Amino acid sequence: MKFTPLSRQLQTRFAGNRPAASGFTLIELMIVVAIIGILAAVAVPSYRDYMIRSKFAEATSQLSDLRIKMEQYYQDNRNYGTTAAACPAAVAMPASPAVKYFTFTCGWGALGTTQGYLLTATGISTQGMNGYVFTINQSNARVSTFTATGWTGNASCWALRKDGSC
C-alpha cells in the first residue's frame, strides 16, 4: 500500500471540487473606478483652463504684430490713420481662416486723434471665447478684460492665468 501524507490528501479532496480563484473582486473594481473618478475630477478643469490659455496666444501674437505694423505706418506718415473707426488700409486686420478664436478691430482709442490707436481682440463666442478681450494702444499699454466666470482680467498687462497674473 502506498503512503500519502494527510496534507496531500486534504488538498486533493478539497481542491477537486472548485477551480482556483482568478480575476478581480467587486471591491477591487470599485476602488479602481473611484480612483479614476477622483483623477478625472482634478484633471478635467485643469485641462479646460489650459485649452483656454492656449487660445490666448492667437490674440496676443496678432495684437503684437498689429502694433508693429501701426508703428511702421506712423514712421512713414506721422499719424496712425485718418479714420477714427478703422486702421489705415496698410494695416489690415487679420480675419478667418488666419484667426479662429478672436476678432480684431482698430480705432483711435481714448485720444480720439490721429496720434493714438486702440487695437482690440474680442473672443468669438462660438469658439468658447466669449468674455475674453485683449487691447493694446500706442503707448504699449496692454489690458485684458475677462467677463468669463472664474477668470480675472488685468488693467496693466495681458493676463494669461485664471487669477489675472501675467
pLDDT, tens digit, 9 for 90 and up, residues 117-132: 999 999 999 999 999 9
Domain that holds residue 97: 25-146
Look at residue 38 and tell me whether its pLDDT is greater than 80: yes
CA distance 93 to 118: 13
Q: Is 129 part of a structural domain of the chain?
A: yes
Is the preceding omega at residue 97 within 30 degrees of 0, hence cis? yes
Residues 54-112 have pLDDT tens digits of 999 999 999 999 999 999 999 999 988 877 777 888 888 998 888 999 999 998 877 77
Task: Indicate the number of domains in the chain.
Answer: 1
Rounded distance between C-alpha atoms, residue 67 and residue 137, angstroms: 8
* Span 41-45, average pLDDT: 92
Residue 158 placed within a domain: no
pLDDT tier, 157 (very low <50, low <70, confident <90, very high otherwise) = very high
Distance CA 152, CA 166 (A): 11
Say whether 136 sits in a helix, a strand or coil: strand
Q: Are 95 and 138 a contacting pair, CB within 8 Å?
A: no
Query: Is 134 among the domain residues?
Result: yes
Q: Are 106 and 87 in contact (CB under 8 A)?
A: yes
Tell me, what DSSP letter sits at residue 89?
Answer: T
d(CA 132, CA 159): 10
77 lies in a domain? Answer: yes
Instruction: Give pLDDT, residue 148.
Output: 84
Residue 15 falls inside a structural domain: no
Residue 154 lies in a domain: no
8: in domain: no
Instruction: Tell me the average pLDDT across 135-146.
Output: 95
Q: Give CA separation, 118 vs 66, 149, 162, in Å.
A: 10, 25, 24
- Residue 59 in any domain: the answer is yes
The CA–CA distances, whole Å, from 51 to 19, 120, 133, 165 equal 51, 21, 16, 17
